[in-house]
């Protein structure tokens, strides 16, 4: 079952339709409802290796639907601590629960100040309204 449209208040957003849930010096990353809806049912998640580094605004992996491939853009810089194996095994989890079980990776932040550049939910919704 696909999730219904929502954009939680407690997340930070990147205009490339990625979200970050920042907790201390770590963050959990995922894609927004809008992104999964645009792609359709996800059938493949190509994750980064644990221990590799991701950079704000750069691709850290890919998600694919039957018809399309999309780069995952990291909203923050950091070191990959964990990949969500559940999404590797069942990529449609992202469609079912994009902000919960469908999270993608957990990172340790290497430049926590970057969060100042991210969007709050109102600003992200404004991005969506323009797209």
Q: Which residues bind other proteins (CB under 8 A)?
A: 43-44, 46, 62, 64, 66-67, 69, 88
Minimum gap (Å) between residue 65 Cβ and other proteins: 9
CA distance 10 to 19: 10
Q: Please check whether residue 105 is in contact with residue 26, taking contact to mean a CB–CB distance below 8 angstroms.
A: no
- Residue appearing with tokens 């407690």: 10
DSSP 119: B
We find the least distance from the C-beta atom of residue 91 to other proteins, in angstroms, to be 10
Q: Tell me, what DSSP letter sits at residue 97?
A: -
């Amino acid at each position: 079952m696909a999730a219904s449209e929502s954009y939680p208040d407690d997340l930070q957003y990147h205009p490339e339709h990625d979200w970050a849930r920042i907790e201390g010096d770590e963050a959990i990353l995922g894609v927004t409802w809008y992104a999964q809806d645009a792609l359709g049912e996800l059938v493949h998640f190509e994750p980064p290796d644990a221990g590799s580094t991701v950079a704000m605004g750069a691709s850290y992996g890919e998600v694919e639907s039957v018809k399309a491939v999309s780069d995952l853009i990291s909203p923050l810089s950091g070191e990959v601590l964990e990949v969500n194996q559940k999404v590797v095994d069942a990529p449609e989890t992202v469609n079912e629960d994009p902000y919960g079980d469908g999270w993608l990776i957990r990172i340790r932040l290497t430049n926590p100040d970057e969060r100042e550049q991210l969007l709050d939910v109102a600003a992200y919704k404004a991005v969506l309204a323009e797209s």
